[in-house]
Amino acid sequence: MSNSRTSPISPRGRAISRRASLLAAIATLVAGLTPAASALASSSGARSASRSERTSILKAYAANDGGSTSSVNGVYVSRSNASLAVVCERTPEAGEQTFVFGHSRGSWRYLAGGSRGRAGNAADRRLELACP
């Protein structure tokens, strides 16, 4: 009799098992380290704007701001009041700015804006928490 141990799993089976373990570990790591914007938004009672909402809100933002939307890093709509939205902007000069818009009579209108936490009433400030 020989002293060598034989494994019931073939070398090919071990390679597949290692690969599956590696993929599972990578998936767990990515899921744990990736910040989800929707998780941030949901903690503030807001959701990401739909494509059509985002388009019309950014149109109102550009008309109000008179500039480009290239520095916008998020558009969120209140879960409790779908006629309130916030546009999050980050610029090198002013830092993070938030602009709150209200939907009435078929269009979005500027309500308040400025540095985060300083705009409008309590509902507006709560909505600003959606900004990353």
- Taking only the tens of pLDDT, the chain with its 132 residues reads 555 565 566 666 666 666 666 555 555 544 444 444 444 444 558 899 999 999 999 999 998 876 678 888 899 998 888 899 999 888 888 788 888 899 998 899 998 887 776 666 677 667 777 787
Q: Which tokens is 48 given?
A: 């990401």
In sign, the C-alpha dihedral spanning 53, 47, 60, 93 is negative
CA distance 17 to 15: 5
Domain spans in the chain, listed from the N-terminal domain onward: 37-128
Q: Pairing between strand 46-48 and 95-104?
A: unpaired
CA distance 3 to 118: 77
Residue of 13, 117, 108, 8 lying closest to 62 (CA atoms): 108
pTM: predicted TM-score of the whole model, two decimal places: 0.62
Asked if 51 and 79 count as a contact pair (C-beta separation under 8 A), the reply is no
Asked if 107 and 79 count as a contact pair (C-beta separation under 8 A), the reply is no
